[in-house]
Structure 1
Amino acid sequence: MKFRFSGLQWAIGSAAILFFAPVWAVAQGGSINGNVLLPNGSLLNERARIILQTNRGVKSNVYTDERGHFQFNALTPAIYEIVVEADRDRFETSRATVEVFPNAPSIININLKQKKAAESRSGPRVVSTGELDAAIPASARKEFERGSEAAGSGKIDDAIAHFRRAIVIYPQYLMAHNDLGAQLLAQRKLDEAKAEFRRAIQIDPKAFNPRLNLAIVLVQQKQFSEAAGMLKTALAFQPDSPAAILYYGLALEGSNDFEGAERALKSAHELGGAPYAMALFHLGQIYMNKGQRKPAREMFQSYLREAPNGPDAAEARKMIGVLR
């Protein structure tokens, strides 16, 4: 089976994915302006990490201000998923989907959901100690924040410079290694990006984000077996991550485990919706490989309904013509 990667060509990750970020086209002036709200409807008055991602991986992350506001600028028009990571002992991870249009802001409010006390102390989804490292010097944090702001505005070279400076100040800075890897991946420096993700995992083997990002690189490099193993571990930490499940399905597809890939891809789309339309395209490929023409055609048609201008749209139309 020929495994197509056009939908993965520019997957990038920053802080995650979510994991799931994941070279992006030159910005067309789109932006996202958002607010994070507490369960009672008031504005969040503490910092929370906001992760921006698409079905190709994670694009960037920023932090809310003291009023719960966040913003992403210079975005390519597309459907994005926003992941909000606030105090994990108190709140569930929140997700929302937003469409960005050219030369216009997209406004979104995201409500946090209170976590049950028992859930905050159970299961393998432990908070990464590397991500909460209290020993990070203030000067390193400042460089990291500047890098995050630059990445959010599409200034990749500036972001890389700030992340490198943060690491010089504090070599154990897990998030700086991870986000530096994300920007290097955006520049197609796959081996350099992979080294940064591996270093982040060495700092904290329980960190979810660099595992997902490393797996994205491995899938791009067609190292499917290692990618599947990396994602299996990542999913033990965050089993409901649609980005991790998507790339797990792609790794299994590349390994010719079509039954496992089918289950994972269906699950990724069910959890993530339209931002994970890529799963539908690859399900179409799997059904074609099995000789199941009708479900293959239906998957390609569904992909086009959700992503008419997606990276695999031309190929999907071609396959529909073949399958008529």
Structure 2
Amino acid sequence: MRGQVFLPSGDPVHEVIRLTLKGDDPRRDVEFIFTDGQGRFILQGLMPLRTYTLTIEGDGRRYATTTVTFIAQPRGYVPVNLLPLEAKEVPPRPGVVSVSRLKRVPDKEAAKLYREALEEIKRGKLASAEEKLRKAIKRDAEFVEAYNELAVLQMGKKAYAEAERWLRLALEKDPEALHPLLNLGICLNYLGRHRDALVPLRRVLEHNPTWVTAHVHLGIALLESDLLEEAEPHLVRGTQAEGLERALAHLYLGKLYVQTGQIPKAVEAWKVYLEMDPNSPNAERLRVLLAQLGYPQK
């Protein structure tokens, strides 16, 4: 199947966009799909007549997080019309101008390397992608998106300290760049520095209070910082996310409810998690814990 991504104005996007693909078969992992420079994409390996969901995270500036559900059909076509941002999603910040809002045009060769790197990521050639991103940054030291993607690759290798370094370099160029801020918060959570993660994640939600992914990871940071009362509404909001982010929200909600003595609520949250991610490393531990609590799972 083929498809194309369109801006809220109806115009095709003129950049590479990442989509998350999730099917109704729990045995199939979440996949990441990348468009070409005109927003066009190809979906391969779909099972005919099965239901799939495509999600594009909002960029905090031009469009909101958008989800499209469709049934796979031979030679089918899937248009993705990005949702507009609500006015409240980007509250005015007097005296602050984000560099990202200026739509800075990177060096031409750096932009070419960046697009090639995204294609390499799509093909699973991560070492080549990393090399091209490093070259793009060398060509254009202000290329915030390249720093961010390079950090994401480091996070994929669990090199979180290195990822943090690249994200902080990106934020030196643009302190209000939302994707580096979000990824920095996630990275700091992985490093166990949950209180440090609170600052960038809260800043993301100041700019874009409806970004559900940020609610999930802020909820985790608050919970692990023993700020349980503040964590709960963020994790509850996170249950509206898609795919693995939604599963994470239920996982940590269960932990919060155990800590606050609300065992039936914890059981329900963990049941949802096990339905969504039954083969994860956490799943078997949860089954043992639920059995100990008197709620054995099949």
TM-score strictly above 0.5: yes
1:51 to 3, 11, 18: 18
Q: 2:275 and 2:76 mapped to 1: Cα distance?
A: 22
Q: Which has the higher contact order (CA 8 A, sep 6+)?
A: 1
Whether 1:303 and 2:270 are equivalent positions in the alignment is no
Q: How does 1:117-266 map to 2 (within 5 A)?
A: 123-124=92-93, 128-130=98-100, 133-266=103-236
Which residue matches 1:36? 5
Which residue matches 2:26? none
Aligned pair in 2 of structure 1 residues 80, 202: CA closer, same or farther (>3 Å)?
farther
User: Are the aligned partners of 1:54 and 1:81 in contact in 2 as well (CA < 8 Å)?
Assistant: yes
Residue type at the aligned position of 2:5: V
Q: What CA deviation, in whole Å up to 9, does each residue of 1:225-284 have, x standing for no partner? A: 1101111111111111111111101101110111111111001113x1444111111111
Q: 1:226 and 1:59 mapped to 2: Cα distance?
A: 30
Which residue matches 1:25? none
User: Are the aligned partners of 1:269 and 1:277 in contact in 2 as well (CA < 8 Å)?
Assistant: yes
User: Are the aligned partners of 1:300 and 1:319 in contact in 2 as well (CA < 8 Å)?
Assistant: no
Which residue matches 1:69? 40
Q: What CA deviation, in whole Å up to 9, does each residue of 1:204-243 have, x standing for no partner? A: 1110000111111100111011101111111111111111
Aligned pair in 2 of structure 1 residues 206, 114: CA closer, same or farther (>3 Å)?
closer
Instruction: State the number of aligned residues.
Output: 278
Q: 2:59 and 2:261 mapped to 1: Cα distance?
A: 46
Q: How does 1:276-287 map to 2 (within 5 A)?
A: 276-287=246-257
Q: Match of 2:17, SS?
A: strand
2:56 to 83, 88, 99: 83
Residue type at the aligned position of 2:257: Y
User: Are the aligned partners of 2:116 and 2:129 in contact in 1 as well (CA < 8 Å)?
Assistant: yes
Aligned pair in 2 of structure 1 residues 295, 106: CA closer, same or farther (>3 Å)?
farther
Percent sequence identity over matched residues? 26
Q: 1:62 and 1:128 mapped to 2: Cα distance?
A: 26
Aligned pair in 2 of structure 1 residues 46, 300: CA closer, same or farther (>3 Å)?
closer
CA apart distance, 1:153:
2.1
Which residue matches 1:12? none
Q: 2:239 and 2:89 mapped to 1: Cα distance?
A: 27
Q: Match of 1:225, SS?
A: helix
User: Are the aligned partners of 2:66 and 2:82 in contact in 1 as well (CA < 8 Å)?
Assistant: no
- The CA RMSD over aligned residues, in Å, is 3.7
CA apart distance, 1:286:
1.3
Q: Match of 1:109, SS?
A: strand
User: Are the aligned partners of 2:89 and 2:208 in contact in 1 as well (CA < 8 Å)?
Assistant: no
User: Are the aligned partners of 1:50 and 1:85 in contact in 2 as well (CA < 8 Å)?
Assistant: no
Q: 2:291 and 2:97 mapped to 1: Cα distance?
A: 48
Question: Normalised by the size of structure 2, how large is the TM-score?
Answer: 0.78
Q: 1:307 and 1:249 mapped to 2: Cα distance?
A: 19
